[in-house]
Structure 1
Amino acid sequence: MTLEDLRAYCLAKPATTEGLPFGPDTLVFKVAGKMFALTGMDEADLRVNLKCDPEYAITLRERHEEIKPGYHMNKQHWNTVYIEDGDLSTELVRELIDHSYELIVASLSKKVRAEFGL
């Protein structure tokens, strides 16, 4: 998966926006204004921070050495997924993006979900 693939996959999700709120090197994807994915702009070292259910996060970290506690994030609720070495399948990375997105959508109020058509 390339940076452009990651970007396209995230932006295809309903009510998703992208921005650079932390500076020009960190691309942030939000659904209804809440972050679900962050990635560096350096494709040579591609990794993405994704929200994750705490119990599932532990399981993922035990099974995959490319999945670590979230860098500069709450380590209980965020994982950093290292994509650059290619050992993780694109399918798994997409599943983890979906999981992160769905966690954020589930945390939104009914009113906000209705406003954004979610």
Structure 2
Amino acid sequence: MNIEEFRELCITKKGVTEEFPFDADTLVFKVMGKIFTIAPLERIPTQVNLKCDPERAIELREAYDGIIIPGYHMSKVHWNTLFLEQLPENLISELVNHSYDLVVSKLTKKQKAALEGII
């Protein structure tokens, strides 16, 4: 999966916005203002950071040694860095959904209601 395909996957999720809050080369996807993925556009090979359940993060790092690593410049407990071109697209899609769902689960009731109201 390349970065354009990754962007399409993220932006189609309900309530998602894309921004460049850090610099012109770091694309950030948020749901209701909360970050669920970070994609440094200039990094080669293509990589992204995704939020992940801590236990699952460890399992993924062991199963995909060197391809999924602790989050670069992020909390190593809650974030993984994925090398996109070396992973199956279905796994990337699953992990984007997992990251999105983790963030949505932590939203306030008011934020969740607002998200549900988005068409």
TM-score (norm 2): 0.93
Deviation at 1:73, TM superposition (A): 0.3
1:37 and 2:34 matched: no
Aligned length: 116
1:3 aligns to what? 3
| Aligned CA-pair RMSD | 1.2
Whether contact under 8 Å (1:18, 1:27) holds in the other structure is yes
5+ residue gaps in structure 1?
A: none
1:101-116 to 2 correspondences below 5 Å:
101-116=100-115
Cα distance in 2 between the residues matched to 1:8 and 1:43? 18
Q: Give, as a single letter, the amino acid of the residue that structure 2 aligns with 1:75.
A: K
What's the TM-score, normalizing by structure 1?
0.94
2:76 equivalent in structure 1: 75
- Superposed displacement of residue 41, structure 1: 1.1
Whole-Å separation in 2 of the counterparts to 1:63 and 1:82: 14
Which runs of 5 or more residues in structure 2 are unaligned? none
Deviation track 1:3-24 (CA, whole Å, cap 9, x = no partner) reads 1100010000000000000100
Instruction: Return structure 1 stretches of 4+ with deviation > 4 angstroms.
Output: none
**In 2: Cα distance, 1:93 partner to 1:19 partner:** 21
Secondary structure of the corresponding residue to residue 23 of structure 1? coil
Letter in 2 for 1:109: T
Q: 1:71 is matched by which residue type in structure 2?
A: Y
Question: 1:64-92 CA deviation, whole Å, 9 max, x = no partner?
Answer: 02000000000000000011xx3310000
